[in-house]
Chains A and B, each alone.
Chain A
Amino acid sequence: MATVTQIGPGAYRVEDDGKQVVVFVAGTAEDRWAFCNGEIYREGERHDEGRPKGGHYKDGGHYELTSPMPATVVKVLVAPGQAVRHGDTLIVLEAMKMELPIRAPSDAVVQAVNCREGELVQPERTLVELA
């Protein structure tokens, strides 16, 4: 059984089986973070994907491409009704001085474009709807 002693704000000494480590904890009830020996742990928020999320399916087979992070829209390369091929760049975002192309995940037709050039978008914000 591990014994925990708080040693400072957000800092805990944990003793388990005679050995001890210091663990740091912060965050809200929904999104908690811990740091121990160079590794970062998160609890609450899904953190299981290897790549930026960037989109999800909606009812009726629509696919919504979303912004993976807060960013500025620098280029809108498509319009509603346009047919696009897998891998085509639809939107170019810029964040922290790097460009992030948002590409079509498959061959599709653009249903709607929900952003405009120069706009600041928040994470998970829908940029383009495909069908």
Chain B
Amino acid sequence: MIKRLLIANRGEIAVRIIRACQELGVESVAVYSEADARAPHVNAADRAVLIGPAPASDSYLSTARLLDAARTSGADAIHPGYGFLSENAAFAAACEQSGVVFVGPPSKVIAQMGSKIAARRLMQSAGVPVVPGETPQDQSDAGVAAALTRVGVPALVKASAGGGGKGMRRVDDESLATEAIQMARREAESAFGDGTLYVEQVIERPRHVEVQIFADAQDHVVHLFERECSVQRRHQKVIEESPSIVVTPKLRTRMTDAAIQAARACGYRNAGTVEFLVDVSGGRGAERFYFLEMNTRLQVEHPVTEQVTGLDIVRAQILVASGEPLPWVSPWITQRGHAIEARIYAEDPSRGFLPQAGRLLLYREPRLPGVRIDSGVEEGGDVPVHYDPLLAKVIASAATRDEATTRLVCALRAFPILGVQTNIPFLLRILEHPRFRSGEIDTGFLDREGASLAAATQVEIPVVVRAALDAAPRAAAASPQPLAPSPRSDPWEALTSWRP
């Protein structure tokens, strides 16, 4: 069993993994950059190691510094979380070589699936349907542009090493191809250190449905049902739920079978996600689905699966990485009720979704029935400019989709965050949109409706808010003033002259 686990990440996911360590009795080691010295993930861990200056390339993306931290802290395993080095095969290989257990699949599986190009080939040979497209041998601007012409616009230029929408550009007009290709390549080089590109046909109005799979070293492969993540803004997921409203029992069987086949084909280990695009334009019974990519790591949206299955994915990751068999057998895994997650980002929807940095002057998480909050920030803390602006995930669970959605709305209405602009008003407008409520959404929903949903937050200040603003002290203080203690707050103090 793993004894001491280093978490090579920050924010909410680092906190989430530390909690699983505590439950398993595994010692946790947090790492942090100079910008995160007072971050919640540092405080939550049993040990913490400073690994470098604020830029991610010198801290959370530095293999050498992370392995150094593992050595000096005596960690026998590393959990990469998501993002950063989680899908970096060289990092996983470096862990394997230095005798540190990498909580995830073997490095060669990451390499194979991390190359979206190799993954496509493997899936095709395993009989899993893929989106039509092409990988140009000639990786120059002209070479990729030529492939794009052959595939035909609209097309997606995608980074072979990509994920989360980074290093990906849609091209609708061939005359703009070169700029898109260059931007995709630069983004891919800076985010993943690999600028290889491929081109894929655009499936119009697809739904994004993914299957959570899990495999252990004893050759058990199970699935934990699907998640639908069609509400995306520029390929960045915003709202995720399970089950998917379009997945019928028959389609579920087909998709989960394909996902297990995909996992077996690549010799998968640990938790992974097989992403599919689902085309429902043919109507019920004639749905088509295509392999999109495989994420060889824990997903941001894993809590929705945990909520509907009642299973702890992160705990199982640590057990399986220790060589133990999966703690679950497939007939016992069930999907119950509905769970839905919203990602709260520090960003300003009314100003082109610009990421926001600054101090969280006020941050109060709501406590409500059926609501889980995974977060990695706290009141008074700083949101640094250097990293992903995800602040918290709010996950609501209930018997039905409608009830779960209503719960999520109530939770967001009761989640004040001030000092840094967030997307909470935008999330509320999505959740209250009739098309979201009826489930008629596809991955282009936000790009079409987003502009009106993102319109400037309330300019007119209502009377009640005005009254509170007028009553609040106009102090130049950076944080809210604490309440002055009431003169009679302690009943024992009022009893000074009384003697028994």
Chain B associates with chain A: yes
Q: Does B494 make an interface contact (CB < 8 A)? A: no
B482 in contact with A41 (CB, 8 Å): no
Knowing A23-B465, A33-B418, A34-B468 touch, does A47 contact B459 (C-beta < 8 A)? yes
Interface residues of B in 192-234 (CB under 8 A from A): none
Q: How far is the CB of A75 from chain B (nearest CB, A)?
A: 7
Among listed A7-15, A56-64, A105-113, interface-contacting one? A7-15
Measured CA separation A33–B455 after assembly (Å): 18
- Chain B proximity mask over A1-36: 1 for CB below 8 Å, otherwise 0: 010101011111010100001011111110011111
Knowing A9-B480, A28-B478, A69-B354 touch, does A40 contact B469 (C-beta < 8 A)? no
Measured CA separation A71–B385 after assembly (Å): 8
Q: Does A119 make an interface contact (CB < 8 A)? A: no
- Chain B proximity mask over A86-127: 1 for CB below 8 Å, otherwise 0: 000100101111110100000000000000000000000000
Measured CA separation A23–B467 after assembly (Å): 9
A10 in contact with B424 (CB, 8 Å): no
A39 in contact with B425 (CB, 8 Å): yes
B469 in contact with A26 (CB, 8 Å): no
Q: Give the contact-size bracket for chain B.
A: 35 or more
Measured CA separation A24–B468 after assembly (Å): 8
Measured CA separation A93–B408 after assembly (Å): 35
A36 in contact with B362 (CB, 8 Å): no
Q: Name the residue on B nearest A43 (C-beta).
A: B469
Q: Does A74 make an interface contact (CB < 8 A)? A: yes
Q: Does B413 make an interface contact (CB < 8 A)? A: yes
Q: Name the residue on B nearest A36 (C-beta).
A: B465
With a cutoff of 8 Å between Cβ atoms, the chain A residues found around residue B352 in the complex are: 51-52, 68
B456 in contact with A48 (CB, 8 Å): yes
With a cutoff of 8 Å between Cβ atoms, the chain B residues found around residue A12 in the complex are: 468, 471-472
Q: Name the residue on B nearest A88 (C-beta).
A: B179
Q: Does B495 make an interface contact (CB < 8 A)? A: no
Knowing A32-B469, A38-B428 touch, does A97 contact B480 (C-beta < 8 A)? no
Q: Does B127 make an interface contact (CB < 8 A)? A: no
Among listed B63-71, B183-191, B308-316, interface-contacting one? B183-191
With a cutoff of 8 Å between Cβ atoms, the chain A residues found around residue B472 in the complex are: 6, 10, 12, 25, 32
Q: Name the residue on B nearest A32 (C-beta).
A: B469
Measured CA separation A31–B345 after assembly (Å): 21
- Chain A proximity mask over B460-480: 1 for CB below 8 Å, otherwise 0: 011111011111101111111
Q: Does B82 make an interface contact (CB < 8 A)? A: no
Q: Name the residue on A nearest B165 (C-beta).
A: A98
Main secondary structure of the interface of A (DSSP, over half): strand
Knowing A2-B463, A98-B355 touch, does A35 contact B418 (C-beta < 8 A)? yes
Q: How far is the CB of B499 from chain A (nearest CB, A)?
A: 36
Q: Does B351 make an interface contact (CB < 8 A)? A: yes
Q: How far is the CB of B417 from chain A (nearest CB, A)?
A: 7
Partner of B476, one of A28, A42, A53: A28
Total chain A interface residues with beta-carbon distance under 8 A: 52
Q: Does B97 make an interface contact (CB < 8 A)? A: no
With a cutoff of 8 Å between Cβ atoms, the chain B residues found around residue A35 in the complex are: 362, 416-418
Partner of B361, one of A27, A41, A70, A97: A27
Measured CA separation A28–B359 after assembly (Å): 12
Measured CA separation A52–B421 after assembly (Å): 14
Measured CA separation A94–B355 after assembly (Å): 11
Of B354, B478, B482, most A-chain CB atoms within 10 Å: B354
Question: Which A residues fall within an 8 A CB radius of B?
Answer: 2, 4, 6, 8-12, 14, 16, 21, 23-29, 32-43, 47-53, 68-71, 74-75, 89, 92, 94-99, 101
Selected A-B contacts with CB under 8 Å, 16 pairs: A9-B480, A14-B464, A16-B464, A33-B418, A36-B465, A36-B468, A38-B412, A40-B424, A40-B425, A40-B458, A41-B461, A43-B461, A49-B351, A51-B352, A70-B385, A97-B187
Question: Which B residues fall within an 8 A CB radius of A?
Answer: 166, 179, 183, 186-187, 190-191, 350-352, 354-357, 361-362, 364, 385-389, 409, 412-413, 415-419, 421-422, 424-425, 428, 455-459, 461-465, 467-472, 474-483
* 20 new A-B contacts at CB < 8 Å, known A6-B471, A68-B351: A10-B480, A12-B472, A23-B468, A24-B416, A28-B477, A34-B465, A35-B416, A36-B464, A36-B468, A38-B415, A39-B425, A39-B457, A39-B458, A40-B422, A42-B457, A47-B350, A47-B456, A49-B350, A52-B351, A99-B186
